[in-house]
Amino acid sequence: MHEHKYLLFKNIPNKKFVTFAAKYLTVNKMNIDKNTVATLVYSIHLNDAYGKLIEDAQKEPKELVFGFDKMISGFEDKLMGMNSGDDFSFNLRPDESFGDFREDMLVSVPKTAFMVNGKLRDDLMVVGNGISMMDNNGRPMKGIVKEILDESIKMDFNHPLAGESLFVVGKVLNIREITAEDLEPESGCGCGSGDGGCSTEKEHAHDDGGCGCGSGCGC
């Protein structure tokens, strides 16, 4: 195999050959690290390989940017150092993904917060409904209506996957260096499901539930 490769390049001037060979070897040795973009296929399940399917990107490869807090920390850490062609499977504890379930994220919101143009939005106050709101610092938060009380609404602002363990399986298809375009905000959604995906804890804990990983809306 090596003899055939040598014969293929033997007529190239030495200096050009060395330059070409160095580039060829560098590309093939590139692994996932900060400032790289990896193309992956993967799926995410609850608990283990037989658990509920949370996100399926096995047929639609996703490009993920590494080193810029664009996905949950455990997902990124487990993939660091992998090469093109590597298969992977790993478990993520709650503290490596979307955190533990927090009682302090169960909040009673006054019904006056649901007033729009002087009218109470009864259509929003439905148990199980997801509502995008703003916290005191102006950050978007998504909460689920849990209970309707006389003067307030009990809402859960935990991530839907808070307290859950995840199982991830997939393959690295390609790795390349990051470009300026990769860091530009996306208007659409990235890899990830509305129920979770692999995007960052901060993004998904407060997004509108429509996108996922690598998504800046989003694993």
Domain range list for the chain: 1-30, 32-99+165-206, 103-156
What is the rounded average pLDDT for all residues in the chain? Answer: 78
State yes or no: pLDDT of 218 exceeds 70: no
State yes or no: pLDDT of 98 exceeds 50: yes
pLDDT digits (tens, 9 = 90+) for 32-61: 999 999 999 999 999 999 999 999 999 999
Domains 32-99+165-206 and 103-156 share a fold: no
Contact call for residues 143 and 113 (beta carbons, < 8 A): no
Q: Given this model, what pLDDT does residue 165 score? A: 96
DSSP the chain: -HHHHHHHHTTS-HHHHHHHHHHHHHHHH-BS-TTEEEEEEEEEEESSTTS-EEEEEEEEEEEEE-SSS-S-HHHHHHHTT-BTT-EEEEEE-GGGTT----GGGEEEEEGGGGEETTEE-TTT--TT-EEEEE-TTS-EEEEEEEEE-SSEEEEE-S-TTTT--EEEEEEEEEEEE--GGGGSPPSS--S--TT-TTS-HHHHHHS-SS--TT-----
In the CATH scheme, what is the code of domain 103-156?
2.40.10.330
Q: Given this model, what pLDDT does residue 198 score? A: 53
pLDDT digits (tens, 9 = 90+) for 124-183: 899 999 998 887 888 888 999 999 999 999 999 999 999 999 999 999 999 999 998 888
Contact call for residues 51 and 167 (beta carbons, < 8 A): yes
In the CATH scheme, what is the code of domain 32-99+165-206?
3.10.50.40
Percent of the chain residues past pLDDT 90, beyond the cut: 54
Place of tokens 């296929």: 41
